[in-house]
Amino acid sequence: MNRITIILVAAGLVSLSSCSKFLEENPNNAIPSETAVTDVGTARAAITGVYDAIQGYFASNYVTLGTITADNVIANGTLTQYLQLDQNAIPTDNVTTVAAYQGIYKVINAANSVITYVPAVTDPLLTTAEKNKILGEAYFARALGYFDLGRGWGGVQLQLKPTTVVSDAKGIKRSTLDQTYDQVLADLIEAEKLLPEDATTRNRAQKSTARALRARLHLYRKQWADAEQYASQVIANTAKYELIPYKNFFTAPFLTKESVFELTFSANDRNSYWNLWYPSSGGGQYTLKPAAGFVTKVKNAAIGGSRTSLIAGSGTDVYGVLYNASATSTDPSYVIRIAELYLIRAEARAQQGKLTGTDGAIADLNAVRARAGVAGTAATTKDEVLLAIEEENGIEFAFEAHRWFDLVRTERAGAVLGLTNRNFWLFPLPFADVLSDPDLEGKNNPGY
């Protein structure tokens, strides 16, 4: 996928010479999208490029933002960009936040090109069904991108057309968070209409993938009934998804029934994220390290159960192995798992006062606990159940992009992390973007 270059990004245009003759010539190292997406082959290549762009931000930088900023993972070493994140003292030029932010917009721009140019393709080999599938995948990718921007940076600029020249990005002001999430919802509705559903696909968007992200979106917006409804639709697809014993899922990590959407890697397209987790004796940098408090919890059989397989080593040299369980650098990056849908539904039901019974929050929570070999919760009241769900999320998704965002959306980051200044519950917009874009001038998040 890394060989495919479809989209002409605005950043590359900025560096072009001011010589008018040069500007009038077609660049020799890229193909403009409007002339590149012309047949079935280039349409397929374009959507493959979208997935490659999702890998680009989600397989490392964005996951780091969702973990090291909270309490289960700490910075280990002296690299400034990670120490800043660990201490929640993030400048506007932090390398990881900048790379994640700009990487997400690459996904959005690539998706915009597919949405804009694929409908005009008239190649008879591109059937209506495949065209709809490609378009549905692009709408899903754009929804995922704007959702991840919204929960990380708040309301952002909504670019809905391809950026092929610098002027394409002019005049777009920041939207509110609600407006950003409204766009996510609109894209997910369109994606669900267009996407197919089959019994095996887990690394490409499907109808159930769009429904799963919609359940997450409604949870973040505190729309409890909608979150319950869409989580239930995914959970009900038992032919495709189920909670499997955690140890089995973890040690045989490729495209199991646990996965709703995962990013696939191969020997030619490796997942190198493990390098930040492994110690030097294992060939890694050991930059990201499980926090001592998390290690104590996950080793407690009554809390972690079989999820102790997330860590290896001993003493002060414990390290995380989620991204290299197979020891081949080809392990997936998990974007949505069925366990999350159970916990989304549990939280949504608890918020509505639905605690007990087969359709209650406790039943969903205990389903996740049971598959990890942990006894049912002792929580009985609404507040106790919500806290138990928070704790379960923290263990179940300790090294995935959840903990930080969960604590922010529930407004618990102050109580749990001691981060009482809410200005720092959002990441800063990149300094270079604010400096170069008149529409962002003076529009960074408060406190930055």
CA–CA dist 327, 331 (Å, integer): 8
In a domain? residue 213: no
Residue 334 backbone phi and psi in degrees, to 5: -90, 125
In a domain? residue 218: no
In a domain? residue 222: no
Are residues 167 and 241 both part of a single domain? no
Other CB atoms within 10 Å distance of the CB of residue 35? 10
Are residues 184 and 265 both part of a single domain? no
pTM, 2 dp: 0.92
Residue 67's Cβ-side half-sphere holds a number of Cα atoms within 13 Å equal to: 30
Other CB atoms within 10 Å distance of the CB of residue 272? 13
Are residues 151 and 243 both part of a single domain? no
- Give the CATH number of the domain where residue 268 resides: 1.25.40.390
Are residues 50 and 186 both part of a single domain? yes
CA–CA dist 437, 143 (Å, integer): 23
Are residues 161 and 279 both part of a single domain? no
CB 309, CB 395: distance < 8 Å: no
CA–CA dist 94, 83 (Å, integer): 10
Are residues 68 and 179 both part of a single domain? yes
In a domain? residue 260: yes
In a domain? residue 4: yes
Are residues 377 and 246 both part of a single domain? yes
In a domain? residue 415: no
Residue-wise DSSP of 139-160: HHHHHHHHHHHHHHHSS-B---
Are residues 300 and 383 both part of a single domain? yes
Are residues 180 and 259 both part of a single domain? no
Are residues 431 and 331 both part of a single domain? no
Identify the pLDDT of residue 250. 84
Q: How many domains does the chain have?
A: 2
At which residue do the structure tokens 């809905």 appear?
160
Are residues 164 and 306 both part of a single domain? no
Are residues 95 and 134 both part of a single domain? yes
In a domain? residue 216: no
pLDDT by residue for the chain (448 residues), tens digit each?
444 443 333 333 333 333 433 334 444 434 555 668 999 999 999 999 999 999 999 999 999 999 999 999 999 999 999 999 999 999 999 999 999 999 999 999 999 999 999 999 999 999 999 999 999 999 999 999 999 999 999 999 999 999 877 677 788 999 999 999 999 999 999 999 999 999 999 999 999 999 999 999 999 999 999 999 999 999 999 999 999 999 888 888 899 999 999 999 999 999 999 999 999 999 999 999 999 999 999 999 999 999 999 999 999 999 999 999 888 999 999 999 999 999 999 999 999 999 999 999 999 999 999 999 999 999 999 999 999 999 999 999 999 999 999 999 999 999 999 999 999 999 999 999 999 999 998 899 999 9
| Nearest one of 155, 224, 225, 222 to 184, comparing CA atoms | 155
CA–CA dist 132, 220 (Å, integer): 28
- Supply the range of the domain harboring residue 153: 1-196+420-443
In a domain? residue 215: no
At which residue do the structure tokens 């289960």 appear?
72
